[in-house]
Structure 1
Amino acid sequence: MASPTDPARLVDLVEQLLSTDGPLPIVAAGDPVLRRGTERYDGQLGPALLARLIEAMRLTMHTAPGVGLAAPQVGLPLRIAVLEDPAPVTEEVRLARGRVPQPFRVLVNPSYEPLGAERAAFFEGCLSVPGWQAVVARPARVRLTGEDEHGRSLDEEFTGWPARIVQHETDHLDGTLYIDRAEPRSLSSGQAMAERWSQPTPAEAAAALGFDLPG
């Protein structure tokens, strides 16, 4: 957990980030802000500034493009993330990965817990680790708790690809990157992904690169 940030300093930091129109700069792996964890959001920014930050994060996520973005990825040690997935995939991929469209949503102070022992392994990437993907085995079903941007309680179950997005973004808020959970032998460049490992599942990659999959 990050040490508490002076509220006035935090407001100044957000105002500085939002001082220019357009997407926010995305912090890359190696920056300590991605590793320090975050502090609970308890109204430090006020409703109007929070709304501006969320809209900027949404624009940044769309522009990247990505399906999720956490506050540390734009340099802010706050427990806030956004996600949205139009899931423009083939039916074969949808069935293999459980990837279904997710509307835009804001996660404030989220946490998750696995439901059941089933795990699913797929290639994952991250806007803060550009150019690379690796296979990550994660719980196939999770319970997410937290709040939305209006302070309303969240308590939902997620499965398939939406569960993966929820876990990935919440991990960011704890200072964890997907590479910390990844199978090292699966690490693949963007070129390798395009040329070799675009299949719906990583089974061929596992056989060729020499790593095991769950089950």
Structure 2
Amino acid sequence: MDYQQLTAEQIAALVENVLDQAVDDVVPIVQLGHPALRQRALTYTGQLSPELLDRLFTVMRATMYAAPGVGLAAVQIGIPLALAVLEDQYELTEEAATVREREPLEYVEFINPRYTAQGSAQAAFYEGCLSFAGFQGVVSRAVTVKAAYQNREGEKIQRDFRGWQARIVQHEIDHLAGCVYIDKAETRSLISQQEAERYPGFDVEQARTLLGF
């Protein structure tokens, strides 16, 4: 399906069809191979009624929680619109939080987001994806980014994110460009969930030595 050719009515019908599958506001997350993950998401221009948009965000949020995950783009439930939800309230050890620069991220909704790196600093860590279940890979990403997006009222917002928050922002906005983290990962770093115990805390340096990347 060429999502770029869809009319507003067809997009609304597609959203209704996805939401009809919801059980307790949770819908299936599509996996690699689904075309929505490999096409640029459509700019949101009001294709959905306010009620349908509200319902969509409710389902996206519930699906993210149920996964569980810290972010979900609309394309991950098969909807080709430039929308995403993010939240990271998971507890970590103080050491892990310090190493990752991981601070809690309160729930936020992105409409038509983009990001730009601030400075040249990069950090490499393991990350995974709800649409590539069961695997993790090392990705180098900008330490600090500026995100520009809209809220439901159409207000334009710019906000700086750093550390793990910046990683989540980049990961989800990449989805809306048809990019999955494996496209940017050190492919030799890829590990399955069954093998993850070899790398406590997803130790990147240990993995580099043992896997040769």
TM-score by length of 2: 0.95
- 1:200 and 1:36 map into 2 onto residues whose CA distance is 30
Deviation at residue 21 of structure 1 after TM alignment: 3.5
CA distance in 2, matches of 1:160, 1:2: 33
Q: Which runs of 4+ in 1 moved over 4 A?
A: none
Distance of 2:103 and 2:191 partners within structure 1: 25
Give the Cα separation in 1 of the matches to 2:59 and 2:129: 18
Which blocks of at least 5 consecutive residues in structure 1 are unaligned?
Answer: none
Query: Counterpart of 2:16?
Result: 15
1:78-101 deviation digits (Å, cap 9, x = unpaired): 000001100311000100001111
CA distance in 2, matches of 1:147, 1:201: 36
In 2, distance between residues paired with 1:72 and 1:51? 17
The superposition leaves residues 28-58 of structure 1 with CA deviations (integer Å, 9 ceiling, x where unpaired) of 0011110011110011102111000000000
Asked whether 1:210 is paired with 2:212, we answer yes
The answer as to whether partners of 1:93 and 1:200 remain within 8 angstroms in 2 is: no
Long gaps (5+) in structure 2: none
- Distance in structure 2 (CA, Å) of the matches to 1:85 and 1:10: 29
User: What amino acid is the match of 2:160?
Assistant: E
SS at match of 1:122: strand
Aligned-residue CA RMSD (Å)? 1.4
Taking the aligned partners of 2:150 and 2:5, their CA distance within structure 1 comes to: 20
What percent of counterpart residues are identical?
46
Contact 2:126 2:202 in 1 (8 A): no
One-letter amino acid matched to 1:28 = Q
Counterpart CA distance in 2 for 1:46 and 1:74 is 19
In structure 1, what is the Cα distance between the partners aligned to 2:87 and 2:211? 32
Q: Deviation per CA, 1:62-118, whole angstroms, max 9, x where unpaired? A: 000000000110001100000110031100010000111111110000000101110
- Give the equivalent residue in structure 2 for 1:158: 161
Q: What SS does the aligned partner of 1:204 have?
A: helix
1:1-215 counterparts in 2 under 5 A? 3-19=4-20, 20-22=22-24, 23-193=26-196, 195-199=197-201, 201-211=203-213
Deviations 1:140-195 (A, max 9, x none): 110100112222212011110000000000000000000000001100011211x1
In structure 2, distance between residues paired with 1:200 and 1:29: 23
| Conserved? CA contact 2:123–2:143, under 8 Å | yes
Provide the C-alpha distance between the structure 2 equivalents of 1:8 and 1:210, rounded to a whole number of angstroms: 50
Distance 1:12 1:2 in 2: 13
Cα distance in 1 for partners of 2:57, 2:198 equals 36
Aligned residues: 210
TM-score (norm 1): 0.94
Secondary structure of the corresponding residue to residue 40 of structure 1: coil
